[in-house]
């Protein structure tokens, strides 16, 4: 790995020890879609099928807001629901925004992450939510598999 | 507790007390399908969408077999998997057996029940499984909803 | 297996074998309340405290309706939510309907059962729901404890 | 729904409709054991291995006691823990009580059932518990398998 | 995948790659409290209500101790239980330490974190626990919401 | 919120803000073993006992591969199963590789991590998996305890 100016010591032990404290708040909802995949790696999933995705949206920040909150949990829930409503009960193969795209669980986690970040920046999750620093979106597709995307807000 | 107006009469109170003891064994698996529904009651679920169904197959009997088992758990798991494989990664709207049928969660629970009963009767789940008396099939469609069918084998 | 002294006599063994088949559909929601209990058996729970109750309402019937449903899942969910809203975010010690009553988990399961039965009979869960025969209400109070009440509709 | 050939006749349809109402209370705990099985049906489980069993003990009765309870949840939890302590952290192959017995999950569910019934009858779960009518014991052995035994107290 | 406008620049991409390996051990328990919130953002939660919090305490370190442990799981469990006992079955609105404080789930996660850190530093979790480097405390308030705080020990 | 004495200084606050985005994909399976521990800290777990470990293998990377995947989920599942098969249904006290080693949950998480990393590097999880950057392995030993190891691939 190439050196980086932000790397303060030679040991690799510093990074987690020194990471800042972090508050998280999670809300859960779900959506149900049809889709198919292109590419031999997908095997039988190349056929039209579908999935229930149980979605965890985890909002993170270093300091609570003046109400003692990471985020208004009511607004977080309704915002997540409105983002999922754009996908719910649809065949993703026919959605304009996904043309030529394999709508894998990983990809959908990123898509929902991006849409939630836009909602946060637009103030739809409240003014306090502007203090959010990171967001993680996890899609549970069964009792044995899930995928997530986490990044900065 | 104060009297409840909905309480049944004492003359019906005997049945559970007298029910026989019962052993159960459950195995879990899942399948992922696309489908749509017909009828205004279904609202947006009339559009083509899909679901992951996490399936619990619960086998029941009054006495254990000579090995101390309700059923061979390995055979139970592979039989359940083979029954689900007939549905997995498919668009149920195009399956011949379901023409004109709303493939609701309840209906699919019954369908899988019927197919497992045939497998039991055909000896695919082992000779010991012939002693099974009841079977319950539950389909979890999300973290907030499931449906099941239970009946005699 | 060696003989069990607790085994009931064969004359009671028929009842489960003869029970009719049964479809079930479950919806889940939750509510959060404060309360306290009277009676030494409750120990520290005699102090004012509270609970989150995650509620499963399980609707049962022997035959599906003409849409292939146990019940309209949308109406079931909104009806459950409206019943729980009468309890949510309240101190049950101050609710007129519960004066002199220990609002145990078991008791609350029965209370919600009774209110859902009234809603079913009043047609609030749809005309199809009039075909329901049994209802079970389960309140999960933690990861290690739950209580339920099941009865005829 | 189209006719199902497996549907029982109407003459057996009365029993569930007439079953009495029932309260249940569940407490959960766990134990960890080693054991092996004899018989070809067990395949690799004939080797010495082990399991964590997460145990649900579900107590049932038709009427609540004078405190509004199915059972004192504190006594129920400590009684379950004391019954499991007799098995916990042991090699069941070397326990005198299980000589020549395959300690399958089903069998262990029945064993714990029997021991809890003795505890109930001996008054270890409180005087109120003498009103209990049924008990179910479920052993979860993984995220995909469980077994249970239910019977009269 | 098509480019995402929200993707951070490559210059920030190094940090996770360089993070040190990390062991974690988690124990779970719960507590039940009453409280109310001040501030319009809380809506109906301004009324006196309550919650069950299922608590995960996750202890983290880079190297195992000489017994091959992150922490003595028995001491971890009893320490967590003793910290939660200070909150359990109480009305947090009347606790001296929380005067003028909204006892949100986020805030309570931090409070329990702070108290566990003191216990670790005081040796209550064993000498080996002095090697712990990070701690995460998660409070599940329902099946759809949780909050956590993670920081250095 | 009132000041917390344990709050780290602001100079350490940058690291999480700068962490790169990260995709994760998780697959779950389980194995069942017998073992015993040496050392007074283990108390009754010094006796021969056993455990079911439900295993989550979480694969992480910053960019998806050309199919829109973190990893081929089919290959991930079969690779995890083959790694667990080397441990499943065994008495770890008699496995040559673990002589003189306490096979704690933490230690086993690391062992499975190491074996999965070898499988990734050998191409057993597909060519795309060579782009993986981090891996986390979590072993759930009961409903109240789990351990994990996470590190770079």
Average pLDDT value for chain F:
89
Residue C99 to residue C101: CA distance in whole angstroms: 5
pLDDT tens column, F143-153: 999 999 999 99
Angstroms from D36 CA to nearest CA on chain F: 9
Give yes or no for a contact between D50 and F31, defined as CB atoms under 8 angstroms apart. no
What number of other Cβ atoms are within 10 A of residue F74's Cβ? Answer: 16
Q: Do D15 and B14 touch (CB under 8 A)?
A: no
Measured torsion, CA atoms of residues F106, F110, F113, F114, in degrees rounded to the nearest 10 = -170
Q: Which residue of F has its CA nearest to A148?
A: F24
DSSP letters of C18-35? HPPPEEEEEEEEEEEEEE
Supply the DSSP symbol for C46. Answer: G
E-chain residues near A110 (CB < 8 A): 1, 4
Predicted local confidence at residue A127, as pLDDT: 86
Q: Name residue F90's beta-bridge partners.
A: F33
Query: Is A104 near chain F, with CB under 8 Å?
Result: yes
For residue E12, give the nearest of F4, F18, F110 by CB distance.
F18
Mutate to test the interface with B, among C4, C7, C26 (most CBs of B within 10 A): C26
Angle at which helices D105-121 and D73-85 cross, to 10°: 130
Query: Is F86 near chain D, with CB under 8 Å?
Result: no
Give yes or no for a contact between A82 and A51, defined as CB atoms under 8 angstroms apart. no
Angstroms from E137 CA to nearest CA on chain F: 14
Angstroms from F23 CA to nearest CA on chain A: 4
pLDDT tens column, F90-132: 999 999 999 999 999 999 999 999 999 999 999 999 988 889 9
Q: Do B32 and A50 touch (CB under 8 A)?
A: yes
pLDDT beneath 50, residues of chain B: 1-18
Q: Which residue of A has its CA nearest to D143?
A: A143
pLDDT tens column, C47-80: 999 999 999 999 999 999 999 999 999 999 999 9
DSSP letters of chain B? -PPPTTPPPGGGTHHHHHPPPEEEEEEEEEEEEEE---SGGGGGGGSSEEEEEEEEEEEEESS--TTS-SS-HHHHHHHHHHHHHTTTTEEGGG-GGGTT----HHHHHHHHHHHHHHHHHTTTT-GGGGG--EEEEEEE-SSSEEEEEEEE-
Residue E88 to residue D43: CA distance in whole angstroms: 47
Predicted local confidence at residue B19, as pLDDT: 64
Query: Is A16 near chain D, with CB under 8 Å?
Result: no
Higher pLDDT, D114 or F12: D114
Q: Do A143 and B90 touch (CB under 8 A)?
A: no
Predicted local confidence at residue E14, as pLDDT: 36
Residue D29 to residue D78: CA distance in whole angstroms: 10
Give yes or no for a contact between C25 and C72, defined as CB atoms under 8 angstroms apart. no
Query: Is F49 near chain D, with CB under 8 Å?
Result: yes
Name every residue whose Cβ is closer than 8 Å to that of residue D103 and which is 6 or more positions away in sequence. Answer: B68, D33, D35, D37, D92, D93
Give yes or no for a contact between D21 and D29, defined as CB atoms under 8 angstroms apart. no
pLDDT tens column, A7-35: 333 333 334 444 689 999 999 999 999 99
Query: Is F42 near chain D, with CB under 8 Å?
Result: no
Residue F139 to residue F57: CA distance in whole angstroms: 9
pLDDT tens column, E6-62: 433 333 333 444 468 999 999 999 999 999 999 999 999 999 999 999 999 999 999
What number of other Cβ atoms are within 10 A of residue D83's Cβ? Answer: 24
pLDDT beneath 70, residues of chain D: 1-19
Nearest to F56 by CA among F129, F117, F138: F138
Instruction: Please tell me the pTM assigned to this model.
Output: 0.91
Name every residue whose Cβ is closer than 8 Å to that of residue A96 and which is 6 or more positions away in sequence. Answer: none
Q: Which residue of F has its CA nearest to A7?
A: F15
Angstroms from D151 CA to nearest CA on chain C: 8
Cα-flanking dihedrals φ and ψ of residue B20, to 5°?
A: -75, 160
Query: Is D11 near chain B, with CB under 8 Å?
Result: no
Nearest to E67 by CA among F106, F51, D33: F106
Query: Is A42 near chain F, with CB under 8 Å?
Result: yes
Kindly indicate the confidence band of residue F19, based on its pLDDT and cuts at 50, 70 and 90.
low
Query: Is C146 near chain D, with CB under 8 Å?
Result: yes
Q: What is the number of CB-based contacts under 8 A between chain E and chain F? A: 98
Mutate to test the interface with C, among E27, E29, E52, E56 (most CBs of C within 10 A): E52
Query: Is B110 near chain C, with CB under 8 Å?
Result: yes
Nearest to D146 by CA among B56, E100, A103: B56
Query: Is E145 near chain B, with CB under 8 Å?
Result: no
Q: Do E12 and F20 touch (CB under 8 A)?
A: yes
Residue F32 to residue E77: CA distance in whole angstroms: 24
Measured torsion, CA atoms of residues B22, B25, B31, B36, in degrees rounded to the nearest 10 = 10
Predicted local confidence at residue F128, as pLDDT: 82
Residue C110 to residue D63: CA distance in whole angstroms: 11
Name every residue whose Cβ is closer than 8 Å to that of residue B25 and which is 6 or more positions away in sequence. Answer: B58, B59, B69, B70, B71, B73, B76, D105, D106, D145, D146, D147
- Residue C111, H or E segment: helix C105-121
Name every residue whose Cβ is closer than 8 Å to that of residue B94 and which is 6 or more positions away in sequence. Answer: none
Nearest to F29 by CA among F54, F61, F63: F54
Residue F66 to residue A39: CA distance in whole angstroms: 10
E-chain residues near F145 (CB < 8 A): 25-28, 73
The distance in angstroms from the start CA to the end CA of chain B is 40
Strand A22-35 and strand A90-91: the pairing is parallel
Contacting subunits of F (3+ beta carbon pairs below 8 A): A, C, D, E
F-chain residues near C144 (CB < 8 A): 143
pLDDT tens column, A74-123: 999 999 999 999 999 999 999 999 999 999 999 999 999 999 999 999 99
Residue C153 to residue C114: CA distance in whole angstroms: 9
Q: Do E44 and C88 touch (CB under 8 A)?
A: yes
Give yes or no for a contact between B89 and B32, defined as CB atoms under 8 angstroms apart. yes
Q: Which of D146-150, F12-16, F58-62, F148-152 has the lowest mean pLDDT?
A: F12-16
Q: Do A90 and B47 touch (CB under 8 A)?
A: yes
Angstroms from F144 CA to nearest CA on chain D: 9
For residue C68, give the nearest of B19, B22, B104 by CB distance.
B104
B-chain residues near C5 (CB < 8 A): none
Nearest to D70 by CA among D26, D117, D114: D26
Average pLDDT value for chain B:
89
Q: Do A50 and B28 touch (CB under 8 A)?
A: no
B-chain residues near D8 (CB < 8 A): 151-152
Query: Is D144 near chain A, with CB under 8 Å?
Result: yes
Nearest to B7 by CA among A50, A14, C149: C149
State the Cα angle at D16 between D11 and D19, rounded to 5°.
Answer: 125
For residue D152, give the nearest of C8, C20, C149 by CB distance.
C8
Q: Do D28 and C143 touch (CB under 8 A)?
A: yes
Q: Which residue of D has its CA nearest to F29?
A: D143
DSSP letters of A54-95? EEEEEEEESS--TTS-SS-HHHHHHHHHHHHHTTTTEEGGG-
Mutate to test the interface with B, among C4, C18, C24, C109 (most CBs of B within 10 A): C24
Predicted local confidence at residue A18, as pLDDT: 47
Give yes or no for a contact between C41 and D72, defined as CB atoms under 8 angstroms apart. yes
């Amino acid at each position: 790995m190439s050196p980086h100016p932000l790397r303060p010591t030679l040991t690799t032990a510093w990074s987690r020890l020194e990471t800042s404290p972090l508050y998280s708040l999670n809300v859960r909802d779900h959506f149900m879609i049809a889709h198919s995949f292109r590419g031999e790696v997908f095997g039988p999933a190349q056929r039209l099928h579908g999935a229930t995705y149980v979605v965890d949206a985890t909002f993170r920040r270093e300091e609570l807001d003046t109400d003692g909150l990471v985020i208004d949990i009511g607004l977080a829930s309704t915002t997540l629901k409105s983002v999922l409503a754009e996908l719910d009960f649809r065949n993703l193969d026919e959605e304009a925004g996904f043309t030529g795209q394999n709508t894998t669980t990983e990809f959908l986690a990123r898509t929902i992450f991006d849409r939630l970040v836009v909602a946060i920046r637009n103030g739809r999750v409240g003014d306090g939510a502007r203090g959010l620093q990171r967001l993680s979106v996890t899609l549970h597709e069964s009792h044995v598999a899930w995928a997530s995307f986490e990044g900065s807000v």
